[in-house]
Chain A
């Protein structure tokens, strides 16, 4: 920029001109340099941090909510009840032993101890009850809802007591204390992001159990077993839950409906790799699971066909269909207690 020699810098005007140009050049250089730097940083961050971005669960409602961390459970009697509710939720077969007739726990379907979005998390459930339900055509309190979970998802008919916890049992109060705490500061009445299960549209080509068999073998069998019976650890503890058969949920359960199962699978399975299957694969896997026998619907009075009319009309389910010559809904033998070692 020392242009003295070359420029016939003899009068003031020319010098000013030179100074002006130098200033302009420096400004251009500086601005360009800074821009380039910012751009480079942005590019680097984009590549550097892309891999670390967690895939956020699909939004399904307007308000997002995060439940408080476990470490924030208060002390005192309230805390004791909350902790016991959490223990029931995670270790249902022990803490509510008289009312559990299979090898599942609440956490098997409501992941992360009922915290995970898109697996019908309990913080979202808490703020949406009481609620009208078509399943029993009346206003349901949370206790009614939980009674249903024990009856169907936990197959209470096969439990030592033969039914769900009676009205007013402290199990309900403790579970509700836990949910209430999970929903601390959640807005009531509002639809929360991640509530319920994902609503998955049925793809063009419907669902197919034979395609589902292949999806299952490739993506699910390593954990849930070729026979769908899950796996236990060295102490005989169920780590991967059974998906069908006598130790799984019964035909009255919400999970026995294809739309619920497909939505759950899409967002949550394979565990740790949710939202990697296509919608089609999720529906097909659901079809494979649903077209296997499981404990009978406890509401069944007459034949399976009559029960289809009474309770399953309009549902997407294999209940009452005949697959490979077997009428699904007939139920499994009840060796549940024997198999619980």
Chain B
């Protein structure tokens, strides 16, 4: 047998080369080789462009930190007060000619640090709105430059130093709510402003003890909301901020987690424990929290590009600006459009990716289609930009009014 096989082998061997390697095998081999070479090349160039991009980002970040007061105004205030400071009739007071801008410098700094809500009278018109607090998203330097620029353009001028802002910050460090209308400003900070409409504190919604206990201790041995979302609803990496979201939106999302229309393995078991009344009460509770923002850009996104997407959109990709739906500061529009301001960037980017995946399953639904048109870099860019915004104001008083 052995010899047989050897002889067979011997007889066979000379023929082997005759069966030439078929051409397609060469094709595939060469194609693969080219592919490999290209990938290698690309990776290294991607590495290089990646590094370039990071340098560019670092410079933009640097530039943003040193942005002039007027640039800060254009980016932070113009969506509401308008580029020319005229405000919006019936909704946002003007800065041009305003006694608050004209008052002593402490006034504007305090308004910027804590925000202001409730009745206010400016240039003979009454307003009753919510201005967000910038104290947690702008540092003393930025606030000083901003305030100097606003007072230079529409007020008496003069320079406000970072040290002055720091003193003002320290002076009201204990404050946890926005200023209560023009009246509180006029009576506690600067009487030259004159008489302002009275602030009538909204009747507090009855403290909902059940909601508070679910939020901080949890329901029947289940997880507390605080264990993931933070004790003030501030969120953390990958877990969304809840403070200041609209109450209806929170309640509806909790229902969506329960019935699976928003599939999520983490929230589902938590939400399933809740009754309809719990959902409503929890919505009201988190909506009423005026928690400062602790979000920061964290995804190395191009923040300038993010600002462009949020404020102007991108015609070439058929993307309307985020704010044309989410409201001029990203605070949302009740009841269907959620707040996206000051949200955790990892959550925002992840959620956008998840929404994009829904595009095929829910054709015609709006946000999935828009998320689907964002590239990965754009998702990171816009998520990082949104993290720099002031948080949407708490809504308890507004609801009652």
Complexed CA–CA distance, A182 and B28 (Å): 53
A337 nearest in chain B by CB position: B90
**Contacts A6-B14, A234-B130, A341-B91; A239 near B333 (Cβ below 8 A):** yes
Scan B7-41; emit 1 where CB is below 8 A from any A CB, else 0. Answer: 00000001101101001101111110111000000
Nearest CB of chain B from residue A164's CB, rounded to whole Å: 18
**What are the residues of chain A within 8 A of B328 when measuring CB–CB?**
233, 237, 239
Q: How many residues of B contact A (CB 8 A)?
A: 60
> 1/0 contact trace for A231-269 toward B, CB 8 Å?
111111101100000000000000000000000000000
- From residue A216, how far is it (CB to closest CB) to chain B in Å? 14
Q: Do B82 and A271 have beta carbons less than 8 Å apart?
A: no
Once the chains are docked, how many angstroms separate the CA of A222 from the CA of B370?
A: 16
Contacting residue for A33 out of B30, B89, B336, B398, CB 8 A: B30
Name the contact of A91 in the complex, choosing from B20, B82, B327 (C-beta under 8 A): B82
- Identify which of A36, A52, A115, A270 contacts B27 (C-beta below 8 A): A36
> How distant is B116 from chain A, measured CB to nearest CB, in Å?
12
Indicate if the CB atoms of A233 and B23 lie closer than 8 Å. Answer: no
- CB of B197 within 8 A of chain A? no
Is there an interface contact between A112 and B27, defined as CB atoms closer than 8 Å? no
Please tell me if the beta carbons of B91 and A236 are within 8 angstroms of each other in the complex.
Answer: yes
Q: Which B residues touch A111, using CB under 8 A?
A: 320
Given contacts A3-B17, A234-B331, A237-B92, contact A94 B26 (CB under 8 A): no
Cross-chain contact B88 with A37 (CB below 8 angstroms)? no
A327 within 8 A of B: no
- Cβ of A51 and Cβ of B372 under 8 Å apart? yes
B88 touches A237 (CB 8 A): yes
Picked from A93, A112, A223, the residue with its CB within 8 Å of the CB of B325 is A223
Inter-chain contact B83/A87, CB cutoff 8 Å: yes
**Quick check: B91 and A237 within 8 Å, CB to CB?**
yes
Cβ–Cβ < 8 Å partners of B331 in chain A: 233-234
- B157 part of interface (Cβ distance < 8 Å): no
A105 to chain B, nearest CB (A): 10
A272 at interface, CB cutoff 8 A: yes
> Which residues in A have their C-beta under 8 angstroms from that of B175?
none
By beta carbon, the residue of chain B nearest A275 is B318
| Given A87-B83, A340-B90, CB of A32 within 8 Å of CB of B23 | yes
Q: Are B364 and A97 in contact, with the CB atoms below 8 A?
A: no
Binds B, one of A22-30, A131-139, A293-301, A303-311: A22-30
What's the least CB distance linking B175 to chain A, in Å?
21
Check B375 for interface membership: any CB of A closer than 8 A: yes
Q: A231-B334, A272-B366 given as contacts; is B29 within 8 A of A33 (CB)?
A: yes
Q: A208-238: contact bitstring with B at CB < 8 Å (1 yes, 0 no)?
A: 0000000000010011000000011111110
Any A CB within 8 A of the CB of B67: no
| A227 CB, min distance to chain B CBs, angstroms | 14
Contact A87/B82 with A272-B319, A272-B366, A273-B364 known, Cβ cut-off 8 Å? yes
Q: How far is the CB of B314 from chain A (nearest CB, A)?
A: 8
**A36 cross-chain contacts in B, Cβ below 8 A:** 27-28, 30-31
Q: Name which residue of chain A comes closest to B126, CB basis.
A: A341
CB of B152 within 8 Å of the partner chain: no
Q: Which residues of B contact A5 (CB under 8 A)?
A: 14, 17
Question: Would you call B91 and A32 a contact (CB within 8 A)?
Answer: no
B107 to chain A, nearest CB (A): 20
DSSP majority for the B interface? mixed
Residue A279, interface by CB 8 Å: no
For the complex formed, measure the closest distance between the CB of B32 and the CB atoms of chain A, giving whole angstroms.
8
Q: What A residues does B312 contact at CB under 8 A?
A: 70
Residue numbers in A under 8 Å from B92 (CB-CB):
235, 237
In the assembled complex, A185 has its CB within 8 A of some CB on chain B: no
Is B34 a contact partner of A37 (Cβ separation < 8 A)?
Answer: yes
Contact between A30 and B30, CB atoms less than 8 A apart: yes
**B316 & A94 in contact (Cβ 8 Å cutoff):** no
Task: Determine how close the nearest CB of chain A comes to the CB of B78; give it in whole angstroms.
Answer: 10
A54 interfacial by beta-carbon distance below 8 Å: yes
Q: Which of A55, A219, A232, A235 is close to B318, meaning CB atoms less than 8 Å apart?
A: A55
Tell me, in angstroms, the Cα distance from A272 to B364 when the chains sit together: 10
A309 → chain B, closest Cβ, in Å? 38
Interface assignment of A34: CB less than 8 Å from any CB of chain B:
yes
* Residue with the greatest number of chain A CB neighbours at <10 A, chosen from B14, B17, B315, B317: B315
Min distance, Cβ B157 to any Cβ of chain A, angstroms: 20
Which A residues are CB-close (under 8 A) to B20? Answer: 1, 25
In the complex, are the beta carbons of A235 and B27 less than 8 A apart?
Answer: no
Interface assignment of B395: CB less than 8 Å from any CB of chain A: yes
Q: Which residue of B lies closest to A40 (CB)?
A: B31
Of the candidates A29, A223, A270, the one having the most CB atoms from chain B within 10 angstroms of its own CB is: A29
Minimum Cβ distance to chain A for residue B267 (Å):
23
Q: A235-B80, A272-B320 are in contact. Are A87 and B336 (CB under 8 A)?
A: no
List residues of chain B with CB within 8 A of the CB of A52: 317, 373, 375
8 Å CB contact of B129 from A40, A95, A236: A236
Given pairs A33-B27, A37-B31, A57-B318, 17 additional interface contacts (CB within 8 A): A25-B20, A29-B23, A29-B26, A29-B27, A32-B30, A33-B30, A36-B27, A36-B28, A37-B35, A40-B31, A54-B319, A66-B315, A93-B89, A93-B90, A234-B334, A234-B392, A240-B333
Enumerate chain A interface residues (CB-CB to B < 8 A). 1-3, 5-6, 25, 28-30, 32-37, 40, 51-52, 54-57, 66, 70, 83-84, 87, 91, 93-95, 97, 111-112, 115-116, 219, 222-223, 231-237, 239-240, 270-274, 276, 340-341
Q: List 13 A-B contacts (CB under 8 A).
A: A25-B20, A32-B30, A35-B27, A40-B31, A232-B333, A233-B327, A234-B393, A236-B90, A237-B91, A239-B328, A270-B366, A271-B325, A340-B90
B residues at A contact (CB < 8 Å): 14-15, 17-18, 20, 23-24, 26-31, 33-35, 80, 82-84, 86-92, 128-130, 312-313, 315-320, 324-325, 327-328, 331-334, 336-337, 363-364, 366, 369-370, 372-373, 375, 392-393, 395, 398
| Ranked 6 nearest A-B pairs via Cβ | A33-B30, A29-B26, A32-B27, A235-B129, A37-B31, A237-B91
